[in-house]
């Protein structure tokens, strides 16, 4: 009996071991199945989470901060926009408006103010060939620029909207890319400033000895923000020979230190009718001695000769202007002449001990506002020192000027000192 019980016990143990082994195998298989199921079930959710994280990363990467400010790029190469802010603070020993003419009031009191404040938006849409740009002056509440440009080829582009027409270099140069605290006394007399326009432009003979840029088009003749019904319009053409086969950008100071040199020689002309004899950021206006005109009362003609050159740390630019105004109502005819020349140097290019960011420059300007009056003249001599923290995007400027305005029967002399900080971000 005892032997039988022992045999039964051994058989039971063997069966138990076999069952346990099978159970373990089944449990192991079930574990594997559950793991596989969990992976299968979790994988889609994990993939979605990863996709969402990736989408967020891509969305963030589309926005960045670059050389012009906040940038958006969808990665396709077709859509790119940037947004920037520019602030210009200025202290001046005497108050003179940006577009001052001889009969404008001049205060002898010093002042410190936010002189310019700009919001800028630009880039290209749909295609790199289609560019857009707008600029708003939030100090004076003015829409300055609103334009669109389509480039068919290097030698043909079309632009429409409102902007500073590329008539002369000094006015086309942004106030944030100037060598001096303010433009010369020549500008208010001869500039076309911002106007609604349609213009063709391009570059012919690119890279050759005959490399030439051109601009030709129809301006409203009504000034910034003016109505198209205020004038028949002004026709403008500019031809610019790019001397070295490279284009010298509309920007002052030799910040790029061109080793081979880069420059241009340009001529330009304007003709047409307008109710205005002068133009500025404020819009159409009148030069001294002219009354508010009727539609197309004044027949305007202008021409320009201009040179510019930059090499190493040296920069030069110069303009000669002639302007004719024929009053179709009174019969008065007036001829104006004017011009300026300026040169600057980063002396660190010549002397190692000289600070690298420091530039010194000088300018002389003269205007004869009426060739019928020999005594009338406006003259300016200015010296400036610029310290560039980040090229034109962050710079400090100090200039000293002497301006003589002689309009019979009085003469005004203005000696002024100006300190300015210009910052873009």
CB proximity list for 28: less than 8 A, separation 6 or greater? none
Burial of residue 34 (number of CB atoms within 10 Å: 0-12, 13-18, 19+) = exposed
Find the helix or strand (DSSP H, E) in which 312 lies.
none
Whether the predicted pLDDT of 51 surpasses 60: no
pLDDT of residue 50: 47
pLDDT of residue 17: 40
219-266 pLDDT tens trace: 999 999 988 766 789 999 999 999 999 999 999 999 999 999 999 999
Contact between 202 and 157 (Cβ < 8 Å): yes
Strand pairing report for 314-327 and 333-345 = antiparallel
Residues 52-58 have a mean pLDDT of 52
d(CA 279, CA 285): 6
Whether the predicted pLDDT of 174 surpasses 90: yes
CA 11 to chain centre: 96
Residues 34-56 have a mean pLDDT of 44
DSSP states along 123-173 = EESSSTTEEEEEEEETTTTEEEEEEEEEEEETTEEEEEEEEE-SS-HHHHS
Query: Please, what is the Cα angle at 245 between 239 and 246, to 5 degrees?
Result: 85
259-286 pLDDT tens trace: 999 999 999 999 999 999 999 999 999 9
pLDDT of residue 58: 52
Whether the predicted pLDDT of 114 surpasses 70: yes
State percent of the chain over pLDDT 90.
74
pLDDT of residue 372: 85
Whether the predicted pLDDT of 52 surpasses 60: no
294-315 pLDDT tens trace: 888 999 999 999 999 999 999 9
Whether the predicted pLDDT of 146 surpasses 70: yes
Residue 44: pLDDT band (50, 70, 90) is: very low
180-212 pLDDT tens trace: 999 999 999 999 999 999 999 999 999 999 999
Looking at per-residue confidence, does 358 or 25 come out higher?
Answer: 358
Find the helix or strand (DSSP H, E) in which 322 lies.
strand 314-327
pLDDT of residue 41: 34
Whether the predicted pLDDT of 34 surpasses 90: no
Whether the predicted pLDDT of 424 surpasses 50: yes
DSSP states along 199-246 = EEEEEESTTSTT-EEEEEEEE-SS-TT--GGG-SEEEEEEEEEETTSS
d(CA 334, CA 147): 34
Taking residue 40's Cβ as centre, other Cβ atoms within 10 Å add up to 9
CA 38 to chain centre: 58
Q: Which of 99-108, 168-177, 352-361 has the lowest mean pLDDT?
A: 99-108
Residue 15: pLDDT band (50, 70, 90) is: very low
Q: What is the mean pLDDT of the chain?
A: 87
pLDDT of residue 90: 97
pLDDT of residue 46: 44
Tokens for 300? Answer: 């305007």
Exposed e or buried b per residue across 48-86, where buried means at least 16 C-beta atoms within 10 angstroms of its C-beta: eeeeeeeeeeeeeeeeeeeebbebebeeeeebbbbebeb
d(CA 84, CA 71): 9
pLDDT of residue 9: 45
Looking at per-residue confidence, does 230 or 399 come out higher?
Answer: 399
Q: Which of 14-23, 54-63, 102-111, 236-245 has the highest mean pLDDT?
A: 236-245
Tokens for 416? Answer: 């002024």
Whether the predicted pLDDT of 377 surpasses 90: yes
């Amino acid at each position: 009996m005892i032997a039988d019980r022992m045999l039964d016990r051994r058989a039971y143990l063997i069966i138990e071991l076999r069952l346990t082994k099978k159970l373990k195998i089944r449990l192991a298989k079930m574990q594997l199945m559950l793991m596989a199921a969990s992976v299968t079930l979790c994988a889609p959710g994990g993939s979605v989470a990863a996709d969402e994280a990736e989408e967020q990363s891509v969305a963030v990467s589309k926005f960045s901060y670059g050389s012009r400010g906040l940038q958006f790029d969808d990665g396709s190469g077709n859509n790119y926009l940037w947004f920037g802010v520019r602030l210009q603070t200025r202290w001046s020993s005497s108050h003179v408006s940006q577009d001052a003419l001889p009969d404008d009031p001049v205060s002898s009191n010093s002042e410190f103010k936010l002189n310019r404040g700009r919001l800028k938006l630009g880039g290209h849409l749909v295609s790199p060939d289609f560019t857009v740009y707008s600029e708003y002056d939030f100090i004076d509440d003015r829409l300055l620029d609103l334009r669109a440009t389509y480039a068919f080829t290097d030698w043909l582009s079309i632009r429409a909207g409102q902007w500073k027409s590329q008539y002369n270099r000094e006015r086309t140069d942004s106030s944030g890319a100037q060598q001096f605290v303010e433009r010369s006394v020549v500008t208010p007399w001869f500039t076309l400033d911002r106007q609604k326009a349609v213009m063709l432009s391009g570059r012919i003979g690119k890279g050759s000895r005959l490399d030439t840029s051109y601009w030709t088009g129809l301006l409203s003749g009504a000034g910034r923000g003016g109505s198209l019904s205020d004038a028949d319009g002004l026709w403008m053409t500019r031809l610019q020979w790019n001397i070295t086969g490279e284009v010298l950008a509309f920007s002052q100071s030799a910040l790029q230190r061109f080793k081979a040199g880069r420059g241009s020689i340009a001529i330009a002309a304007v003709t047409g009718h307008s109710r205005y004899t002068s133009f500025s950021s404020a819009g159409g206006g009148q030069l001294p001695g002219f009354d508010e005109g009727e539609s197309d009362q004044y027949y305007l003609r202008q021409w320009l000769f201009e040179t510019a050159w930059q090499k190493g740390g040296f920069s030069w630019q110069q303009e000669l202007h002639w302007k004719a105004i024929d009053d179709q109502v009174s019969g008065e005819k007036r001829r104006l002449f004017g011009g300026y020349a300026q040169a600057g140097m980063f002396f660190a290019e010549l002397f190692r001990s000289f600070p690298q960011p420091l530039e010194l420059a000088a300018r002389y300007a003269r205007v004869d506002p009426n060739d019928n009056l020999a005594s009338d003249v406006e003259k300016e001599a200015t010296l400036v020192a610029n310290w560039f923290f980040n090229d034109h995007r962050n710079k400090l400027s100090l200039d000293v000027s002497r301006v003589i305005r002689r309009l019979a029967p009085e003469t005004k002399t203005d000696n002024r000192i100006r300190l300015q900080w210009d910052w873009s971000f």
